[in-house]
Amino acid sequence: MGYKHGIYGELVPSSESITTTKTVAVYVGTAPIHRVKKENRVINKPLLIRNLEQAQTKLGYRESDDFDKFTLSGAVFAHFANKIEAIGPIVVIVVDTLKGAESVTKDLDIINGIGTIADNAIIDSLTISDKVLDTDYKVKYDASGNLTIIGDDLEESVSVTYKRVDLTLIKTADIIGIYDEDEETRTGIQAISDVYEDLNLVPAIVAAPGYSQIKEVEQALVKITSKITDRWEAICYTDLDSSVAMTREMAIEWKNENKYNSNCEKTCWPKVISGGRELWLSILAIVRKLQTDAKNGDVPYETASNKAIDVDSLIANDKRIKFSQEKANELNEKGITTAIYSGGKYVLWGPHMSNYEYGVTNAIEEIFDVNIIMNKYLLNDFQLRNIDKIDKPMTRNDIDALINSEQMMLNAYVSAGELLFGEISFKSDENVRSDLLQGDFKFTTLVTNTLPAKSITQKIQTTSKGIDSLYSEEE
């Protein structure tokens, strides 16, 4: 170490690592990509984000972002900056916020060779009259999300021109997206179908927080969960509109009127305050689900309900609200997931999907969220592990080998408590000769999902038996 004289500081990399999970969550929404240079900018394509650093370089994320305007920044904040456990990776699909950007020309004050633009300026669109980029000046976005112009030889005032992003131009149709058959391209929610081919990841959870309270977006999310690229099964997380549904009664009414009732959908209410920031509860619910799965070897058999979430308070229409467990149960029995304060912390509260209604939902595979999630997981996992068997010879020995290997997997799930029962079979009545001659084989798997203890009741009854202890042995 050389000679030093003075006060020093040094940034040391964190010793904490991000917990990773194979349960892949895909978010669709807006991000400050105007801060990202054109050559690094990814729009309407699946993008893998592993940590805050990647979020900053790939999405332009800053913690000071307006999460209502940049909805994916809220997801990044919840996943990688929460106080419980950073969890990832996540996949994001950024809609095109640059389209329709208007040109702005203004005089900018330069102080000590530095000028600052507090605007959503596209970084590579900025020009200065009679100046050359990277020769006379440089541009970058600072930690606060402001565009900084640096140049030692700049005058005290310069004329700058840039394109400014107008987020009011983003419409529902942009989030839903389209599939262009001629170009074989997809945008918005439709681009979820590109996740497997582009990233070799199976989308298990899809969401569009900040937009899923719009019925058309919710419908698109529900539709995309089934047979993604003709193969994969997922669930979606949605939110009720907290600006309209300001009370529990209004939330239930809003859900029913807008028919948020799919068995592949988990609907949340209200919004929450987390780390001093207002967030959609669906994001925190997804974070909690990934944290729970990571602790269970990525097998999603355990509900995230009654697990701690990084929440300071609940909020609806800018008003902070609170309610008891029994009041929250009124939401749960209508298929709404919420949060309550319990045991000195806020926990997610609600083990059902949106289709659930107490006394009405009787199909055993649709009572709890983990029933549906676990069964979809088993389908996806079976396809992932057995894809190489397609177009190979299938003899009786091959059939038996597949049954044996799959039964071992099911037995392992049962031994670990991840299933209560699992059995695979090859039935002759489901594999008629004409189907086999066409090369079509069908295997049947019976499972009993592990049940969550939705309620535990203790009964205390007074008895006189204890009186006997007051007597001596002689008495």
pLDDT per residue as tens, the chain (475 positions): 566 656 666 654 444 457 777 789 999 999 999 999 999 999 999 999 999 999 999 999 999 999 999 999 999 999 999 999 999 999 999 999 999 999 999 999 999 999 999 999 999 999 998 899 999 999 999 988 999 999 988 999 999 999 999 999 999 999 999 999 888 899 999 999 999 999 999 999 999 999 999 999 999 999 999 999 899 999 999 999 999 999 999 999 999 999 999 999 999 999 999 999 999 999 999 999 999 999 999 999 999 999 999 999 999 999 999 999 999 999 999 999 999 999 999 999 999 999 999 999 999 999 999 999 999 999 999 999 999 999 999 999 999 999 999 999 999 999 999 999 999 999 999 999 999 999 999 999 999 999 999 999 999 999 998 898 888 777 6
In 118-209, beta strands by DSSP E = 127-128, 138-141, 147-150, 157-164, 179-180, 185-186, 203-207
Cα–Cα nearest to 86, from 115, 47, 49, 120? 49
Structure tokens, 231: 């193969």
Cα 128 to chain centroid, rounded: 41
Determine contact, residues 317/246, Cβ cutoff 8 Å.
yes
Cα–Cα nearest to 274, from 80, 53, 59, 23? 80
Cα 365 to chain centroid, rounded: 23
Parallel/antiparallel/unpaired status of strands 138-141 and 47-49: unpaired
Spatial distance between the Cα atoms of 443 and 399, rounded to a whole number of angstroms: 9
Give this prediction's pTM.
0.92
Spatial distance between the Cα atoms of 141 and 359, rounded to a whole number of angstroms: 55
Determine contact, residues 72/122, Cβ cutoff 8 Å.
no
Place of tokens 């990509």: 33
